[in-house]
Structure 1
Amino acid sequence: MKAFAELLDRLVLTPQRNAKIRLLADYFVTASDPDRGYALAAIAGTLSLATVKPAMIRDLLLERMDEVLFRYSYDYVGDLAETVSLVWEPPSGVVPDDIPLGDAIEKLQTTGRADVRSVVRDMLDRLDTSARFAFLKLVTGGLRIGVSAKLAKQALAEMGGKDVTEIETLWHGLAPPYLPLFQWLTGQAERPVLSTPAVFHSVMLATPIGEGDLDGLDPKDFAAEWKWDGIRVQLANIGGTRRLYSRSGDEISGAFPDVLEAADFSGIIDGELLVGGTSRTNRATRTFSDLQQRLNRKTVSRKMLDEYPAFIRAYDVLFSGETDVRPEGFLARRAMLGDLMERASPQHFDLSPLVPFSSWEELDQLRSDPPDPVIEGVMLKRLDSPYTAGRAKGPWFKWKRAPYNVDAVLMYAQRGHGKRSSYYSDFTFGVWTEIDGKETLVPVGKAYFGFTDAELEILDRFVRDNTTERFGPVRAVRAEPDFGFVVEVAFEGLNRSTRHKSGVAMRFPRIARLRQDKLPHEADRLETLQAMIESKS
């Protein structure tokens, strides 16, 4: 645990990306199994210790400390793990000792709920202050060290001399403590063979259209598709195993058994999950709020299946059968996808139609006046582009339509007034931009309405669980590229402003919906808002 604690301390104090990668790579080389695998899982957010809750940690401390004194300490420090690590007093005669990281994790994973309190208490007694802090951050899932899963994967690639895309391909088919992965990276074993190929593969993302992005590009080199207002999904049916994943790799098969059952083709497709009619010729696409009725459910009733029939509008194909076709160009993949969709159930699948256009001006007009209100804009895809993970600028673009809607990241929260005085209901949100060579969130607006009472509960819980700093009544919330809360913000207008750090001000902003299917790095950019102002001019 001491080596892991030292790694966390150094990562927190190291702002440079490449230096963080070196620290991680050095740790992965020197640490033993399974410690390094569990450390990787903790950093990448794939480690789950469901039996340990912050409330338990608090109760354990209150067995040995006056509650009023704890409240004062917690209020001053502002972080539960740091507070407990500093004030915890082991029994007299107990000498601090090191506990291997792997031993601690496996002990907690194999301990029943009835005994977990005593196990955690014993570990807190045996660890010194620094290791105790690392342990508490580990078990409560709140590292906050400025390292994303993507950065950790890059460190693995450097450690093993591999291409990071190879690691991305394997990632979702492996589990902590990643023993086969490290054996491969260190040359002790061959490349891991996944038990089922029906695993999630990192999706290809589009770059938002900004000012000048289309300059010098020939419309003849691109195809255009409508951008539908659903959620991006990946459906896999390989070797008889069927899975449905969100864009972030979370399995959502249980909420959409009808779609999975109808997937009688073999392969992996990328598309938009929507709610609509029952055939390709009678399919009025319904709103995102209708789709939300089925999201985040483990099971669905027959009534819900009938009232909210789901289907996938297919964008792309990653595997045809068990053949990886991602290296093929867009047109070649679309032809394969068309063949798959011709044979697929028309009630549950269709092919995303292409939008004919001959100039950017013509496409802009189509984007501004689409044929369906559920269309958010258009997607542009280079005809020869392979399907590559991540967001490489150039192959794919997304061009949203007016009225103004952007995806932003929660940054700050404040308690409301009246009946909302006990909730964090006033939210400041931001978008990304580059400052001094670093991707940074800058505030662009504040909203305190637009969400339902149920959504307010979700937002309030996130703020309380992920507060990083306090400024009087205002709380800063965790907002990192791969961890945070994305909201779709709707607003009536946009103007330049010298009062705001971002240089823009929104008119009547409101939170249109919660985008828990998106990661913060997928939120919009300041350049997109600036382009909106230029367009209005």
Structure 2
Amino acid sequence: MNRFAFLLDRLSYEPRRNAKIRLMAEYFRETPDPERGFALAALTGALSFRHAKAGLIRGLIMERVDPQLFAMSYDYVGDLAETVALMWPGETRANRTPPLSEIVEGLATTAKLDLPKRLAGWLDALDETGRWALLKLITGSLRVGATARLTKTAVATLGDGIKPDDVELVWPGLEPPYEDLFAWVEGRGDKPFAEDPAPFRPPMLAHPLEDSNFRAFDPAEFVAEWKWDGIRVQASAGTGTDGKHVARLWSRSGENVSGAFPDLVEALTFDGAIDGELLILREGRVQTFNVLQQRLNRKSVTPKLLAEFPAHIRAYDLLFDGGEDLREQPFEERRKRLEAFIAREDNPRVDLSPLVGFEDWDGLATARADPASAGAGEDAAAVEGLMVKRRDSAYVVGRPKGLWFKWKHDPMTVDAVMMYAQRGHGRRSSFYSDYTFGVWTADADGERLVPVGKAYFGFTDEELAELDRFVRKNTTNRFGPVREVTHTAEQGLVLEIAFEGIARSARHKSGVAMRFPRVARIRWDKPTAEADRLESLEALIAQKEAAG
């Protein structure tokens, strides 16, 4: 466990991508099975423990230190694992350090009532860094700057001529501690074969397309399609060796979301894999993302919910047709196969995302600005931009350069006043980096600010330091970890907030909800009294509703 903890510690302080890969590759090369396999699972987010949760950690530490002291320390540090690792009382009190494999298996198999005692024993046996790594493992938020893709890249370096994409392609169906994977990469075994009839295939991603750089490309080499305002999913279905048909719905990150959409999964009667957009379709018309949110992250789905929010897939690409892998074929060929596939299956829950005709980039820009007149029709309100794809592009894992581009609508903006601030996590745990912002409205008591959203990104490190200083110097009240920041008509700070969408929301105090808000600019120059009003956001919603 100490060796794994040392790796996490080194990764958390290493900013360079290639250096992170070298650190992980060295660990995988020198660490035996099954230890390295469980480390790989932890770094790729493949571990979860039913009974080991953050509440258990809080309970253990508050039995050993003053609860108020812990609350104050946690507020200051901002990270649960780091706070408990530093506050855990006493020196190491065991004559052995538990290996990572013992800890992972123990967390997975120990009964709920026995787990606190066992976890306390591990914490007693580890030093500060080891305790921190153990607690990070439990909370599931390592935050060491090593993505699953980067970790798989490190695994690929162990082999001769093996690419990260090769590891990605065999990853579906593999389980910790990945002994077959390491044996193949190191030349000691055969390439793993996934027997799952409905596995997740890693998706191909796009680069943002800016107005200033797309004209360097020949428009004749590209096709365009609408980018729908839903959730990118993969519908995978097939027949297993036992003769049973299996269908699953995967998110872009590989999470199995089938349980939240049983109506859609039941309709996936084909054999193959489709890349598409998850939408809510009512009477043949695509609903807004705000409507789709009513179906997301549901632990249970009622018949009423299924009837009111029918799930649908609008297909972009065909990855498998039966057992035939189409990913190496050019997009144009896959598109023809997809059209034939959709026509053949005639599935009311799956339809085809139409292509957008254009002759030059100016014509495509016109279509982007007015989807309704360019073929999107009544669904125009659910279009968030365009996808621009090379005609000859294979379906390549990751985000390859020059093949796929996303050209989203220009974001909407609002000038809002910072009202509250809270510390971030990970390397931002010492900074007030999460901001609640509001706009002006009027009621019987006069003018007041009403919160309309939260933002925690969109600024540089230098700007974050400036914002943090402002919060500390202008705090007027505290509510646990949250600071109330000066926000009057005479004093305060205006932030220009960019966002992708806006809709009515009964769950929010203001009655509006923004999608993907982020700080676009710090308006040091603008008086708080001149910030925008709630009425302007409500007018924007009304305008969108009238258009869509």
The TM-score, its normalising length taken from structure 2, stands at 0.75
Q: Secondary structure at the match of 1:104?
A: helix
Q: What does residue 309 of structure 2 align with?
A: 308
Q: 1:165, 1:85 → 2: CA distance? A: 37
Aligned residue identity for 1:308: F
Q: Deviations over 1:447-500 (max 9, x none)?
A: 8997857579xxxxxxxxxxxxxxxxxxxxxxxxxxxxx952399xx8897979
Aligned residue identity for 2:259: G
Q: Secondary structure at the match of 2:97?
A: coil
Q: 1:363, 1:331 → 2: CA distance? A: 19
Aligned residue identity for 1:270: D
Q: How does 1:118-133 map to 2 (within 5 A)?
A: 118-133=117-132
1:427 aligns to 2:461 (yes or no) = no
Q: Deviations over 1:505-527 (max 9, x none)?
A: x97899x9xxxxxxxxxxxxxxx
Q: What does residue 111 of structure 1 align with?
A: 110
Q: What does residue 212 of structure 1 align with?
A: 212
Q: What does residue 16 of structure 1 align with?
A: 16
Q: 2:5, 2:199 → 1: CA distance? A: 32
Q: Structure 1 stretches of 5 or more lacking a match?
A: 418-423, 436-442, 457-485, 501-505, 513-537
Q: CA distance change for structure 1 residues 450 and 222 in 2, over 3 Å: closer, same or farther?
A: closer
1:164 aligns to 2:185 (yes or no) = no
> In the TM superposition, what is the alpha-carbon distance from 1:114 to its structure 2 partner?
1.1
> In the TM superposition, what is the alpha-carbon distance from 1:317 to its structure 2 partner?
0.6
Q: CA distance change for structure 1 residues 507 and 156 in 2, over 3 Å: closer, same or farther?
A: farther
Aligned residue identity for 2:49: L
Q: What does residue 231 of structure 1 align with?
A: 231
Q: CA distance change for structure 1 residues 119 and 507 in 2, over 3 Å: closer, same or farther?
A: same
Q: 2:522, 2:58 → 1: CA distance? A: 47
Q: Is the 8 A contact 2:495 2:522 kept in 1?
A: no
Q: Is the 8 A contact 2:413 2:497 kept in 1?
A: no
Aligned residue identity for 1:388: V
Q: Secondary structure at the match of 2:216?
A: coil
Q: 1:393, 1:31 → 2: CA distance? A: 34
Q: What does residue 141 of structure 1 align with?
A: 140
Of 76-85 and 200-209, more deviation after overlay is shown by 76-85
Match of 1:488 among 498, 510, 516: 516
Q: Deviations over 1:259-287 (max 9, x none)?
A: 22222321111111212245xxxx12222
Aligned-residue sequence identity (percent) comes to 44
Aligned residue identity for 1:31: T
Q: How does 1:492-507 map to 2 (within 5 A)?
A: none
Q: 1:88, 1:495 → 2: CA distance? A: 42
Q: 1:444, 1:45 → 2: CA distance? A: 34
1:51 aligns to 2:59 (yes or no) = no
Q: What does residue 467 of structure 2 align with?
A: none
> In the TM superposition, what is the alpha-carbon distance from 1:370 to its structure 2 partner?
1.0
Q: Is the 8 A contact 2:172 2:194 kept in 1?
A: no
Aligned residue identity for 1:94: R
Q: What does residue 385 of structure 1 align with?
A: 393
The TM-score, its normalising length taken from structure 1, stands at 0.76
Q: Secondary structure at the match of 1:317?
A: strand
1:361 aligns to 2:388 (yes or no) = no
Aligned residue identity for 2:129: S
Q: Secondary structure at the match of 1:215?
A: helix
Q: 2:260, 2:12 → 1: CA distance? A: 39
Q: Is the 8 A contact 2:215 2:361 kept in 1?
A: no
Q: CA distance change for structure 1 residues 222 and 300 in 2, over 3 Å: closer, same or farther?
A: same
Q: 2:78, 2:461 → 1: CA distance? A: 29
Q: Structure 2 stretches of 5 or more lacking a match?
A: 240-244, 373-379, 415-423, 439-450, 463-493, 538-548
Q: 1:324, 1:193 → 2: CA distance? A: 14
> In the TM superposition, what is the alpha-carbon distance from 1:109 to its structure 2 partner?
1.0
Q: CA distance change for structure 1 residues 5 and 347 in 2, over 3 Å: closer, same or farther?
A: same
Q: 1:208, 1:415 → 2: CA distance? A: 27
Q: Deviations over 1:224-283 (max 9, x none)?
A: 2122111111111122221111111111112222322222321111111212245xxxx1
> In the TM superposition, what is the alpha-carbon distance from 1:352 to its structure 2 partner?
1.3
Q: 1:366, 1:123 → 2: CA distance? A: 60
Q: Is the 8 A contact 1:198 1:238 kept in 2?
A: yes
> In the TM superposition, what is the alpha-carbon distance from 1:346 to its structure 2 partner?
4.1
Aligned residue identity for 2:406: K
Q: CA distance change for structure 1 residues 451 and 122 in 2, over 3 Å: closer, same or farther?
A: farther
Q: 1:455, 1:111 → 2: CA distance? A: 41
> In the TM superposition, what is the alpha-carbon distance from 1:151 to its structure 2 partner?
1.1
Q: Secondary structure at the match of 2:279?
A: strand
Q: 2:393, 2:302 → 1: CA distance? A: 41
1:413 aligns to 2:414 (yes or no) = no
Q: Secondary structure at the match of 1:146?
A: coil
Q: What does residue 271 of structure 2 align with?
A: 266
Q: Deviations over 1:149-199 (max 9, x none)?
A: 111111001122311111111223212222221222222221111121421
Aligned residue identity for 1:428: A
Q: Secondary structure at the match of 1:259?
A: helix
Q: Is the 8 A contact 1:96 1:128 kept in 2?
A: no
Q: CA distance change for structure 1 residues 432 and 164 in 2, over 3 Å: closer, same or farther?
A: farther
Q: Deviations over 1:407-442 (max 9, x none)?
A: xx998224689xxxxxx986334349999xxxxxxx
Q: Deviations over 1:79-135 (max 9, x none)?
A: 3322322332359x9345211110111112110111111111111122223222221
Q: Secondary structure at the match of 2:158?
A: helix
> In the TM superposition, what is the alpha-carbon distance from 1:78 to its structure 2 partner?
3.7
Aligned residue identity for 1:413: D
Q: CA distance change for structure 1 residues 95 and 304 in 2, over 3 Å: closer, same or farther?
A: closer
Aligned residue identity for 1:203: P
Q: 2:214, 2:83 → 1: CA distance? A: 52
Q: 1:267, 1:353 → 2: CA distance? A: 20
> In the TM superposition, what is the alpha-carbon distance from 1:384 to its structure 2 partner?
0.9
Q: CA RMSD in A?
A: 3.5
Q: What does residue 529 of structure 1 align with?
A: none
Q: Secondary structure at the match of 1:356?
A: coil
> In the TM superposition, what is the alpha-carbon distance from 1:76 to its structure 2 partner?
4.3
Q: What does residue 276 of structure 1 align with?
A: 281
Q: Secondary structure at the match of 1:133?
A: helix
Q: Secondary structure at the match of 1:200?
A: coil
Q: 1:220, 1:426 → 2: CA distance? A: 42
Q: CA distance change for structure 1 residues 296 and 363 in 2, over 3 Å: closer, same or farther?
A: same
Q: Is the 8 A contact 1:426 1:446 kept in 2?
A: no
Q: Is the 8 A contact 2:226 2:387 kept in 1?
A: yes
Q: 1:386, 1:433 → 2: CA distance? A: 35
> In the TM superposition, what is the alpha-carbon distance from 1:446 to its structure 2 partner?
4.7
Q: Is the 8 A contact 2:24 2:154 kept in 1?
A: yes
Q: CA distance change for structure 1 residues 11 and 360 in 2, over 3 Å: closer, same or farther?
A: same
Q: What does residue 243 of structure 1 align with?
A: 248
- Rg larger for: 2
Q: 2:3, 2:269 → 1: CA distance? A: 50
Report the count of equivalent residues: 456
Q: Is the 8 A contact 1:489 1:509 kept in 2?
A: no
Aligned residue identity for 1:358: E
Q: How does 1:172-211 map to 2 (within 5 A)?
A: 172-211=172-211
Q: Is the 8 A contact 1:225 1:353 kept in 2?
A: yes
Aligned residue identity for 1:5: A
Q: Secondary structure at the match of 1:160?
A: coil
Q: CA distance change for structure 1 residues 425 and 45 in 2, over 3 Å: closer, same or farther?
A: farther
Q: 2:2, 2:347 → 1: CA distance? A: 57
Q: How does 1:342-357 map to 2 (within 5 A)?
A: 342-357=343-358
Q: Is the 8 A contact 2:498 2:518 kept in 1?
A: no
Aligned residue identity for 1:430: F
